[in-house]
Chain A
Amino acid sequence: MRVAFVGNPNTGKSTLVSSLSGRDIRVANWPGTTVESISAQVRVGEGVLHLVDLPGVYDLLDDGPDAEITLRELLENPPDAIVNVLDASHLERGLHLTLELMELGIPILLVLNMVDEARRSGVEVDSGKLEEVLGIPVVETVAVKGRGKEEVLSGILRARVPAPPVSYGEDVELALEDIASGIEHPARRWLALALLMEQERPFFPIDDSLRDVVEGWRRLLSARYGDLFLYIEGRRISVAHEISSRVVSRRKRRRAVDEWLDALLMNPVAGPVFILLFLIFSFRFAFFLSSPWVDFINTVSDVLGGWILSAGIRGIVASFLIEGVISGVGTVLSFAPVLFLFYLVLGFMEYSGIMARMAFALDTLMAAVGLPGKAFVPLVMGFGCNVPAVYATRTLESFYDRLRVALMIPFMGCSARLPVLVLFASVFFPHGPVPVVLSLYLLGMIMAFITGAILSRMLEYEAPSLFEIPPYRFPDGGRLVKTAWDRTFEFLRGAGTIIMAGVVLVWLTMHLRISGESLYSIISRGILPIFRPMGIQDWRLTGALIPGFVSKEVIIGALAVGFSDMANHLPIGFLEGIGMILDAFARAVRESMGAPGAIFGIPGFRIPPVETSLGDYLSGVLTPAGALAYMVFVLLYTPCVATVAAIKQEFGGRWALFSVLYQMSVAFILALFIYKIAVLIHG
């Protein structure tokens, strides 16, 4: 028996599905789209329920891919039952969809989720009365606490095809009957309604004779009711409103602390200042707490490499194992602490209600590029690491907003690019490296905003930007940790293979030889002519860009030692290795303890001493103007492989490819432009 879970966004559908099924969740990609849906199986008695979690929608006829996936699934592959999940605090909003789902001719169970929270904010829903009014089973749950699971499972078995909940008037009903008689589908009443509303969908074609019937009725009925879309919508709205006023009772209650916090965070002047400080400190916290664990993972990879060497493995095999496999797995894993902590911070902001205040304080700024205020959060997160920032776009409701922000994010200079920029700035601009680096970051931000503005023109998407300002809540720590871990795990599984492939591909270019010359040097020399106009004349500079695709900080290493030099890997004995790992672990624990203090330190960057040989080499092959062009190119040329994987996971391969090509072109044009200007000014 297939059971589809349908409901508004953020009603806890996925939480309910995972709590029903234990941990047995499979993530499936829907063909032709990128929005993921989860399916799981659960045993009830001797039968098996196949649970399908569909993307959150407000209305089956909404624009955008979320509604399309949900509608397609319900029409093309009708489930045996629908579980319609509603947020008990927002019954009326949810009922609008319920009334629509009840027209589909599929047995339906209504789940009132988050009843505890509704009660706390003074909303009481009489579910018995609701069951009576709608004529379908209604069950109360608190999915995060696993409350009401049994009732949902038995409710599914009780679900029956409901009677149509809304009557649209005698003449419309007659039209619906007439049109529906020409449709061979269980959801014929819903389809007839959609046709009257002029909402055809390509995946449900109708023949010409039916189209004539519909046209005839449309002409007749619109003479009486005006725009039929608005009329039908309007009927559902008033029925939803009427039902909700009959079953919901409210007690008004608002705490003084809420008023006080709002007066502070939503003040037109102080608000943005507090919000910015909060963002900076919380992201610094995530960053400082994760970096000791990234170092730990790197030490473990080094030790594993050392063990391979001391086991007597040498040559191409050792190189593949160390620089391909171990380094690949290490790269994937090193994202885990970063992602986990950023997700923790993000979850806190969302759940506590602070995110809505951020959106309020920064709305004016983001409105300039046609984005909701919330979009600011993933963009700022991008300065730490682009990867969690791409996933953080999920907090936005519309697909096009998510996509636009994700394409802006790679312009935000992440922390991996910093060492490269600092190195070049201190070699070529020893008197003022800091302003140079800062202006490059500013350039990236400006490009992000230009990109956002262009995309909002192209995608022509101007939905009203309304959002709710919820009461403040104190987040449940256990739930935050679990969600953060689930999302991190999802990344490791989904993006891991792509990152591995990227690392192995780069390794191959180093080691594959064509008539005695490595692919690496062939490519580096091959692309050099494109870079000559911007003052880059040495193939080692272009070569370093190749491993830079894996992670931008690797560029320094590639310039300094020659990337495929095995000399920096030494054999390590077994016990010695264990000792190193334990040491690194102790250090990571120690440094994590110090992290909460470090976040209050003065932000800034330390300029490490540059190895003289590297400095001499660089100033030998580049002029300051060429160095500037190279820095611009490195800052912008491509999202790193993990970011590309994240974009692919969220939006599909085509948009990931678009992002890479777009960044490339912008990087190239800007680097060339800045080189020419620098040459003009300084000769």
Chain B
Amino acid sequence: MTSGTLTLEEIEEGESAEILSIDADGGKFRKFIYMGLYPGATVRVIRRGPAGNPIEVLVDDLLRIAVRKRDARMVKVRKGS
């Protein structure tokens, strides 16, 4: 992985990041979009569930979305916003 690019899974609690891209196609890609997770959106990790799953993120300071670790790996982000 190139330096500076992380996946959403690697963001610590309380940290913010900007979504760069989503590694999914068709219906899977769309599912992220419906939940407001489009490239350019800002996400902040609020907390993690039991055994680290799922991850609660605050999207664009408005929506709270729970994402499974498996799916968070498809979301490429850059730290800070």
The number of chain A residues touching the other chain, given as a range, is 35 or more
Contacting pair A96 B33 (CB below 8 A): yes
A-side contacts of B64, CB under 8 Å: 468-470
A250 within 8 A of B: yes
| Chain B nearest Cβ from A268, distance in angstroms | 5
CB atoms of B54 and A464 under 8 A apart: no
A239 to chain B, nearest CB (A): 12
Nearest CB of A to B40, in Å: 8
Contact in complex: A464, B74 (CB < 8 Å): yes
Asked if B1 CB lies within 8 Å of chain A CBs, one says: no
Known: A63-B27, A364-B51. A96 touches B34 (CB 8 A): yes
**B6 an interface residue at 8 Å Cβ cutoff?**
no
| Contact yes or no, A463 B28, CB < 8 A | yes
Knowing A230-B25, A250-B62, A464-B68, say if A92 contacts B36 (CB, 8 Å): yes
Chain A residues near B74 (CB-CB < 8 A): 464
Are A237 and B31 interface neighbours, CB within 8 A? no
Q: Which of A237, A359, A465 contacts B38 (CB 8 A)?
A: A237
- For A62, list chain B residues within 8 Å (CB): 27, 30
**A252 contacts the other chain (CB 8 A):** yes
Q: Is the CB of B71 within 8 A of A268?
A: no
Which residue of A59, A269, A363, A470 contacts B54 across the interface (Cβ within 8 Å)?
A: A363
A468 and B65 form a contact (CB under 8 A): yes
Give the dominant DSSP class at B's interface.
Answer: mixed
- In this assembly, does B11 line the interface, its C-beta being within 8 Å of a C-beta of chain A? no
CB distance from B71 to the nearest CB of A (A): 4
Known A-B contacts A59-B30, A230-B25; A466 and B67 likewise in contact (beta carbons under 8 Å): yes
Instruction: Judge whether B53 and A466 touch: CB under 8 Å.
Output: no
Within 8 A of B (CB), among A227-284: 227, 229-230, 233, 237, 241, 250, 252, 266, 268-269, 271-272
Q: CA of A271 to CA of B51 in the docked complex: distance in angstroms? A: 12
Shortest CB-to-CB span from B51 to chain A, Å, is 5
The residues of B that contact A360 with a CB separation of less than 8 Å are 49, 54, 56, 66
Q: Does A400 reach chain B (CB closer than 8 Å)?
A: no
CB-CB nearest in chain A for B38: A237
Partner of A466, one of B26, B62, B66: B66
Q: State in angstroms the CA–CA spacing of A227 and B33 once bound together.
A: 17
Q: Is the CB of B37 within 8 A of A466?
A: yes
Given A269-B50, A360-B54, A360-B56 in contact, is the A468-B63 Cβ separation under 8 Å?
A: yes
Partner of B31 from A123, A252, A361, A463 at Cβ < 8 Å: A463
Chain A 91-125 interface 0/1 with B at a Cβ cutoff of 8 Å (1 = within): 01100100000000000000000000000000100
Bound together, the chains give a CA A147 to CA B38 distance in angstroms of 33
| Residue A574 lies at the interface, judged by CB distance under 8 Å to chain B | no
B26 touches A241 (CB 8 A): no
User: Are A361's CB and B66's CB within 8 A?
Assistant: no
Chain B, Cβ-Cβ closest to A465: B68
Cβ of B71: which chain A residues have Cβ within 8 Å of it? 464-466
Q: Does B48 contact A (CB under 8 A)?
A: yes
How far does the alpha carbon of A57 sit from the alpha carbon of B35 in the complex, in Å?
Answer: 14
The smallest C-beta distance from B60 to any residue of chain A, in angstroms, reads 9
Taking CB atoms and an 8 Å cut-off, the chain A residues in 42-83 that contact chain B are 58-59, 62-63
Of the candidates A96, A233, A266, which one forms a contact with B56 in the assembled complex, judged by CB atoms under 8 Å apart? A266
Give the residue among B26, B34, B35, B61 with the most A Cβ atoms within 10 A. Answer: B34
Do A467 and B49 have beta carbons less than 8 Å apart?
no
**A466-B31 contact, Cβ under 8 Å, with A271-B49, A359-B66, A367-B68:** yes
In the complex formed, the residue of B with least CB distance to A238 is B38
Min CB–CB distance A226 → chain B (angstroms): 12
| B interface residue numbers (CB < 8 A to A) | 24-38, 47-51, 53-54, 56, 61-68, 70-71, 74
Some 28 contacts from A to B, beta carbons below 8 A apart, are A58-B30, A62-B30, A92-B36, A93-B34, A123-B62, A230-B29, A233-B29, A252-B61, A266-B56, A268-B50, A271-B50, A356-B66, A360-B49, A360-B56, A361-B50, A363-B49, A463-B28, A463-B31, A464-B24, A464-B31, A465-B68, A466-B35, A466-B37, A466-B65, A467-B65, A468-B63, A468-B65, A468-B66
- Chain A residues packing against B (C-beta within 8 Å): 8, 58-59, 62-63, 92-93, 96, 123, 227, 229-230, 233, 237, 241, 250, 252, 266, 268-269, 271-272, 356, 359-361, 363-364, 367, 373, 463-470
Q: Which 6 A-B pairs have the closest CB atoms?
A: A469-B64, A464-B71, A268-B50, A364-B53, A466-B35, A364-B51
Interface contacts beyond A268-B48, A367-B53, A464-B24: sample of 16 additional A-B pairs, CB < 8 Å, sorted by A = A62-B27, A62-B30, A96-B33, A96-B34, A227-B25, A233-B30, A237-B33, A266-B49, A269-B50, A360-B54, A363-B66, A364-B50, A373-B54, A468-B35, A468-B64, A469-B65
